[in-house]
Structure 1
Amino acid sequence: MAIARIRSRLSTGGPAQPPSPMPNSRPTRNDPSFNNYVDKLKNIPEFDTTDDSNRPPIAEVEYKLIKAKDKNSIQQMMESAAKFGMFRVSGHGISPEELNAAFTEADFIFGLLAERWSRDGDREEFAWSRSAMAVAERRRDVKNDENFLKFRSKMDNIANKLEAIAKDMAQAIGTNGGKQPRKKIKENETRMVLFKHNNSSLQPHTPRSSQTPRSLDGNRRDNATFALSIHIPTEQGEFRLISEEGPVSFRTIPNTIVITVGEQMEEWSYGEFRSAFGEINIEPDIQDEKGAFSIELKCSPSCLNDVVDKHDSISITDQIIFVVIVAIVYKLFSYMLS
């Protein structure tokens, strides 16, 4: 393409002409020096752009349409979960302001509950669950701390909203899967990981463990204990899907959450939906000392087991029909034998 543009500009008399390697001469297309210049253009590398032109067609569905049982949206979501192990949900109702407000006490909490905090390169991680917060609240230095109580209340609220979204997604998948066989899952306690992202230029050069096979295996084991994972940032970032075929990344924003399928759902569906796992990376502005945050919530919606129970049980209508058929057959046989 670059060669074609050069030739086009020359033929139309455009201003962008290559500099002449010969002083006081005008290059022509028959000039050997010009041909050498054009040949060099063939070796100019193609640079990757920041757009998502190479991103696979991962479905993005409206939350309100899923709740309204829109068949087209549900079908897109299920196809994306089957092919990529993930889909995106927009219009989920959690505003960036609410997310940022939930982290107003985060810096303090990261230091207060140090045993649940860790660093991974330019990212800090904080493990959250309701049972862990209940245990922490019994500590003498925590239970009466106003910042902790605010933090716990805000995180409970965020977790409740994300769990409700996960339940609606799982319900839609479960009730629209026909009569395909399903397998019960273990209903594990919901768990969140809070990530604080710092500008990499301000941090020591510590490699991110997510780039190593060891961490990949660890993520895979953790992924096996949940059915769905929900990912949401406080500002624009990059979601990196980690797979055996190689990483796939695309931009993500607070108004759109990313949902990945866990191994529990893959087993629940007998392989109809593939499991996947990934993470959000954010590079905050170097002047932003507070950094940016993201959340990953992992859960096992109980409604998936309700679908199994429904498929395994015989409805009252089916039972009545069965009794009627047996009665008719019995009367026919009795009539023929009489």
Structure 2
Amino acid sequence: MATSPVDPPENRAPPPSPVAIGRKNSFVNEEKLTHYLERSLHLPELVLPDRFFPKENSGKTPPEIDLRQLSLCEKDSLSKLIGSVTTIGCFQLLNHGLSKELISAVKAECEGVFGLSHKKKMMVSRSNGVCYGFEEHSGEIEEYSGENEECSGEFFWSRRERTSMEFALKRVWPEGFRSFSQNIEALSAQIEKIAEFILQILLENTSKKASIEQGDSLLGLYKHGRNAFSGKTEACLKSDLVRILIRRSDLSHALSIHLCDGSPEFHVYSRKGWISFRPAHESVVFTVGDQIQKWSEGLYKHVVGRPMFKRDDGCMSMALLYSPTITLKGGGQKTISFAQQVLLAICLIFLYHLLVLLSKPKEIH
């Protein structure tokens, strides 16, 4: 059947909606709305990590202090020690007496520790809720360098958890755990003796009197990845900051003692920036921890330090995180102010009159 010309087609579009006639002030309201949106939707200027990265503070090198002179209470060494920990939170210790043979033996055995497979490392990982074990961090360097560098990592030995530590290592490294355990325990004990001596001097310099009791110490073994620091200084600095902000929050300590002989550069980070210096030959670098800063009420400055290696071969360094128990002497002795003495006298007088009144015999009527 043919369609009539007057019949509307099936797909005809609906007629347009009528446009309402706006009032005169509608344009004014539209301008105000546009101005408001431009102001409220304006994005703030973002401060990116590259611009926030702290600058290096030049001209500051931690002093070199001789332990032999310090043990003899030599005034110049004492003043250098106190001055360095109150300003930059770091100093270098010479003639420390640590066994070179023992240090070399531990470093040699570290090759076997870090040579374990990834599966075995995960069996002795700090992510399992323990304070000791492996903590690998190859991702930070790759994120900034864009290259697949040899994996770097950390291994922490706890003296307090030695029995559990040895049992865990025996499962994954039965052929070498016994010698490694004996050497690393002996080295930790030597470092602790020096740290206790230094800490005692720092405590005696304050108005508070305290005694040091054995707590828990973690000896960190650090493997610096091959070529990880070759021509990538900026990337490594960013990696350090990430590790400081995220991974170091659970490693509270009083002092950190760094064994990094052969490192061409050492970095010290604080809230005010960072400094770099070349450690003296066969020196041990001390940095102040958060526990001492809190105990001294900010007198000693908490910083974080780490060595930087630029050689082509993978390097090892060690750092003991010394965390003893500090007990204040005479903590129960308190002075009584004049106002408290007056109030106490009034109370005693009132109590005396009350007892006299109660002690009088009652009259019998």
Shorter chain as denominator, the TM-score bin is 0.5 to 0.7
After TM superposition, the structure 1 = structure 2 runs for residues 161-200 of structure 1, keeping only pairs within 5 Å, are 161-177=190-206, 180-181=207-208, 188-200=215-227
The code of the aligned residue for 1:114 comes to: K
| CA 1:96–1:58: 2 relative to 1, 3 Å | same
- Residue equivalent to 1:215: 243
SS where residue 299 of structure 2 aligns? coil
Query: In structure 2, how many angstroms separate the alpha carbons of the residues matched to 1:183 and 1:106?
Result: 37
C-alpha distance in 1, partners of 2:163/2:238? 30
Q: Quick check: 1:85 aligned with 2:93?
A: no
Seen in structure 2, the aligned counterparts of structure 1 residues 213 and 186 have a Cα distance that, compared at 3 Å, is: farther
User: Distance in 2 between the 1:234 and 1:215 partners?
Assistant: 22
Q: What SS does the corresponding residue of 1:138 show, helix, strand or coil?
A: helix
Aligned match of 2:322 = 299
Q: CA deviation at 1:283?
A: 2.4
**How far apart in 1 are the matches of 2:173 and 2:111?**
18
- Alpha-carbon distance between aligned partners in 1 of 2:190 and 2:85, rounded to the nearest angstrom: 21
Q: Once the 2 structures are TM-superposed, how far is the Cα of residue 141 of structure 1 from its aligned partner?
A: 4.6
Q: Equivalent residue for 1:325?
A: none
2:286 corresponds to 1:252? no
Code of the aligned partner of 1:109: V
* Structure 2 gap segments, 5+ residues each: 1-56, 123-132, 142-149, 335-365
Distance 1:293 1:313, change over 3 A: farther
Percent of matched pairs sharing the same residue: 25
2:22 corresponds in structure 1 to none
- Aligned pairs, number: 251
Q: Which amino acid aligns with 2:204?
A: T
Cα deviation, 1:60-84, whole Å, max 9, x if unaligned, reads: 2111122222232112101110011
The one-letter code of the counterpart of 1:145 is: P
Partner of 2:254: 227
* Residues 198 and 283 in structure 1, CA contact (< 8 A), matched pair in contact too: no
Which structure's CA Rg is the greater one? 2
The C-alpha deviation readout for 1:23-82, integer Å capped at 9, x for no partner, is xxxxxxxxxxxxxxxxxxxxxxxxxxxxxx944142221111222222321121011100
Q: Which runs of 5+ in 1 are unaligned?
A: 1-52, 315-338
CA distance in 2, matches of 1:298, 1:202: 24
Change in CA separation of 1:254 and 1:191 when aligned onto 2, cut-off 3 Å:
farther
Question: What's the TM-score once normalised by structure 1's chain length?
Answer: 0.64
SS of equivalent to 2:108: coil
Distance (whole Å) between structure 1 residues aligned to residue 222 and residue 273 of structure 2: 23
Structure 1 residues 154 and 82, CA gap change in structure 2 (3 angstroms): same
Q: Structure 1 residues 146 and 310 mapped into 2: Cα distance closer, same or farther (>3 Å)?
A: farther
Q: Which residue of 1 aligns with 2:25?
A: none
Q: Does 1:106 align with 2:110?
A: yes
* Superimposed CA distance per residue, residues 135-184 of structure 1 (whole angstroms, 9 cap, x where no aligned partner): 1422595499341111111111111111111101011112233xx24789
Structure 1 match to 2:182: 153
TM-score, structure 2 length as denominator? Answer: 0.60
Task: Name whichever of 106-115 and 132-141 sits farther off.
Answer: 132-141
Deviation at 1:210, TM superposition (A): 5.3
Aligned Cα root-mean-square deviation (Å) = 3.4
Structure 1 residues 144, 273: CA separation in 2 closer, same or farther (over 3 Å shift)?
closer
Q: Is the 8 A contact 1:238 1:249 kept in 2?
A: yes
Structure-2 change in CA distance of 1:241 and 1:228 (3 Å): same
Matching residue within 124, 127, 132 for 2:156:
127
Q: Would you say the 8 A contact 1:188–1:226 is kept in 2?
A: no
Residue 308 of structure 2 is matched in structure 1 by 281
Matches of 2:170 and 2:294, distance apart in 1 = 43
